[in-house]
Chains A and B, each alone.
Chain A
Amino acid sequence: MKRPILLACVLILLPAGMRAQQPEPRKESQEERLKALEERVRVLEAVIAELRATRGPAAEPVLVAGPVMLPTSPPAAPAVNPPQGPAAAQLPTYGGASSAAKVLNPDISVIGDFLGSAGRNNVRPVPSLEMHETEVGFQAIIDPYARGDVFISFGQEGVELEEGYLTFTALPKGFVAKVGKMRAAFGKVNTLHNHNLEWTDRPLVTENLLNGEEGISDAGFSVSHILPAPKGIFLEGTAQVYRGISGDLFSAPGKKDVAFVGNLRGYKDLTEATNLDLGLSYARGHNDAGPELTTSLYGMDATVRWRPLRRAIYHSFLARAEFIWSQREQPLATQKAFGFYTSAEYRLNRRWTVGGRFDRSGQAQDAGLTDNGFSALLTYWPSEFSQIRGQYRFARYAGGQDANELRFQFLFVLGAHGAHPF
């Protein structure tokens, strides 16, 4: 607001100043000119006072316009009664030119994930301090038929496309299709980006059986549909086909060796505040043990949430368990490994959340080796756009090696307000 006022001052005072430098043909008295300038200053002061009055409370840092109609108001629906009082005399304010220029740009967000770790872990060591990931998101509606979501991850080891997919939202018969690179609909944790997790790390079962942090994330297409179900139950089926390359989990030797993921999700509101979310998942793809050898994964997840609507920002509870069975064909024998985690978190108040997790998982390539662990967590939210988290993590890896770590995380969000995952 200062800039237009200063500009107005300059524009008004400049001609007077210029005139003052010109020779006076009729020797106008200094006093009259001074009075004229004083009058201009008085007018400007009145304008500034009026502008200040429209700012509202002193605590308000944002200069705001008075009542205005949005520029998109359709002419067919004019205001029933025009604004009355002083506000009615104000001209409409349609926002800055810069915002108009950005209107068709995608929503851009940047999420920073800084991790620190103290303690000892010889099996899966992590750096003491790292800017673990910076995720840049671009999201927009592409046309009346589809929207696009692209997430690029800048990490310690380089840049990668974390997800980038089209979602077709206008298909007939209620189908929703996606095409692109995406995190597969296998269970819960695999679908979540790091910053949406309830922990600073991923559970041991994810590390051992589900390709770790990257998970099943591949190029492919997905079709989902809400299925008919009784008694207000939400039931959704998803079928996905991928190229078949996901780290050390799937490694397709040829074009025809695609991977497949299927998910069936059931959801029910038990009460207004409590709900139950159940899922069954299946994934199958070729592994790197041999050209004809595959890995099949079976998953089951269950989540119970409680969040009272009247105090939703202060209290909530979430308990989740995920069980994964892996059948990995290997030249000598098929390895059948099993792993799971259970976790819970409780929001104490608007800023503090406590949580815990228990882990147990066999190893995909040698099901006889089992890792165990548990974590305790404390999270602080300065605002909706930043988060500080501490996690004590103990792990007893197969072979008897113990790890004791204290991890901490700073998350911050820049730009567009993203939707909260559910």
Chain B
Amino acid sequence: MISRTMRFPILAVLACVFAAGFPLPACAAGKLKIVTSTTDLAALAQEIGGDRVEVQSIARGYQDPHFVEAKPSFLLQLRRADLLVVVGLQLEIGWLPPLVTRCGNSKIQPGAPGYFDSSQFAQILEIPTVPVTRAMGDVHPFGNPHYWLDPQNGLRIAQGIAQKLTEMSPGDAAYFAERLKSFQQRIADAEKRWDDQMKPYRGRKVVTYHRSWPNLATRFGLNVVNYVEPRAGIPPSPAHLVELIGMMKRENVKVILVEPYFDLKTPNSVAAQTGAQVVVLLPSVGGEKEVTDYFKLFDYDVNLLVRAFQAAR
């Protein structure tokens, strides 16, 4: 039994909270609501889902996906989602789990049918085969999570999304299959173009700020020889920069690739001492206004790389 003095406030607020559960906001009927952790996955989901889906991304394309803030406003998106598409491999470990736990949407909890981990469909690089420790920096023990930067992985993820959307909306199966087929064809055509552009520069040595580019580098034959960060997530020390500059001079490395969310002061300083160029390459759709879909992301990056390598001759 609860004492009489305590009954009223308890019942009053409990009643308010419970009553609030029933007038749910009106939802646009018919469309599957997809929330993705990053813009790249949103772009892929939109490619397959077309006008049968409503897609929102939590992170912006110019934002470091490791350090998104778990804002309560994201809960408003998540609570209405039919499908949550994540990068996985612990990329979102610092912000997504509490949002998913608190959103009150059983459909998108880990393990539920509406939770889609894209990494299960992609080819993953840099999976450690020895025990990892934090002495190596903020390493991802299940492999490098920047895997969407290989168009072949984009295809694999798109195929997985098509399968998932078909399960969730069997009546639209033919529509999703048609869009997947179109996407596959357009990727194949675009890859020929990107390959032709990058062919003269295969094997070129580059330095990158963070370990964001192994899939892109592998796909287009770039040779990443070192990093501005001495370890993943650790800011560069003067000693590391001296070593990096020496190495770049010795190996004639003329291009430094930097993500748009890192400060350019240090890369510019290294570039000034080595005669290299700093290229702000986009890891995600939406990194710049004009990069509005998955194809434009690679168009943008490949064009930047070609220009940089041409200038470095």
Contacts and interface: CB of A to CB of B under 8 A. Distances in A.
A350 B235 contact: yes
A65 B160 CA distance: 24
Interface of B: 1-3, 5-6, 9-10, 13-14, 16-18, 20-25, 60, 62-64, 67, 69-73, 75-76, 79, 90, 93-98, 100-106, 109-112, 119-132, 134-139, 141-143, 152, 155-156, 159-160, 163, 184, 214, 218, 224-227, 230-231, 233-235, 260-261, 263
A420 B121 contact: no
A223 B14 contact: yes
A20 interface: no
Contact of B10 (A62, A241, A267, A286): A241
Given A62-B139, A239-B10, A81 B152 contact: yes
A175 B20 CA distance: 10
A421 B138 CA distance: 18
Contact of B138 (A174, A351, A384): A384
Interface stretch (A123-131, A258-266, A359-367, A389-397): A258-266
Interface string A213-241: 00000000001111110001010111101
B124 A269 contact: no
Contacts of A223: 14, 17-18
B226 A419 contact: no
A269 B76 CA distance: 12
B139 A70 contact: no
B226 A79 contact: no
A79 B160 CA distance: 10
Contacts of A73: 120-121
Nearest to A261: B13
Interface stretch (A9-17, A155-163, A303-311, A333-341): A303-311
Nearest to A269: B73
B90 A1 contact: no
Interface stretch (A23-31, A38-46, A91-99, A204-212): A91-99
Contacts of A87: 218
B89 to A, nearest CB: 9
23 contacts: A1-B130, A57-B227, A58-B226, A61-B136, A64-B128, A67-B125, A74-B121, A74-B160, A79-B152, A81-B155, A99-B141, A144-B109, A170-B106, A173-B22, A225-B20, A234-B76, A237-B17, A260-B6, A260-B13, A313-B67, A313-B261, A383-B134, A419-B93
B132 to A, nearest CB: 6
A96 B142 CA distance: 11
A351 B17 CA distance: 42
The 3 closest A-B pairs by CB, nearest first: A170-B106, A174-B104, A173-B21
A419 B124 CA distance: 24
B106 A171 contact: yes
Contact of B129 (A65, A83, A228): A65
A70 B124 contact: yes
A104 interface: no
Interface of A: 1, 56-59, 61-70, 72-74, 76-77, 79-81, 83, 87, 93, 95-96, 98-99, 141, 144, 147, 167, 169-176, 223-228, 232, 234, 236-239, 241, 255-260, 262, 265, 267-269, 272, 275, 277, 282, 284-286, 292, 294, 305, 307, 309-314, 350-351, 383-385, 417-422
Given A73-B120, A262-B13, A225 B69 contact: no
A297 to B, nearest CB: 12
A260 B142 CA distance: 43
Contacts of B10: 239, 241, 258, 260
B21 A225 contact: yes
A258 B73 contact: no
Which among A67, A76, A175, A307 has the highest number of chain B CB atoms within 10 Å? Answer: A67
B6 A176 contact: no
Contact of A237 (B13, B95, B105): B13
Contacts of B155: 80-81
A70 to B, nearest CB: 6
Contacts of B226: 57-59
A74 B120 contact: yes
B61 to A, nearest CB: 10
Contacts of A256: 1-3
A342 to B, nearest CB: 22
